[in-house]
Amino acid sequence: MIRKPETSDDVTTTAKQILDYLQQRPTAADTLEGIAYWWLMQQRLSENLAFVEQAVDELVEKGYLTAQESKTSGKVYSLKKNEQNN
């Protein structure tokens, strides 16, 4: 069963995300399920990744998180030791 969007704003936002995806990949084609899963999730992941990066950078700057380089994964973040007891 397909869930209906809550508002017309949801439909407008989703339509814009589909067009954004197609502007970057003009030969793309997929089913409704494929569009929802692959196209829209990829768009949202890219958008969320930018927000997460900014938030993590801010937490590192404020001293809440530490960043350590991993040979296999790049940077790995964790709660700074002195913050674990607060």
In a domain, 1, yes or no: no
Structural domain count, the chain: 1
pLDDT digits (tens, 9 = 90+) for 27-82: 999 999 999 999 999 888 888 898 999 999 999 999 999 999 998 989 999 999 87
Residue 22 lies in a domain: yes
Q: Rounded to an integer, what distance in angstroms lies between the CA atom of residue 57 and that of residue 66? A: 10
Write down the pTM of the prediction. Answer: 0.56
Residue type, 8: S
Residue 54 lies in a domain: yes
The four Cα atoms 58, 59, 65, 67 give a dihedral, to 10 degrees, of -10
Structural tokens at position 10: 């949801």
Q: Return the half-sphere exposure (C-beta side, CA atoms, 13 A cut-off) of residue 27.
A: 0
Check pLDDT > 70 for residue 83: no
Range of the domain at 63: 8-83
Does 20 fall in a domain? yes
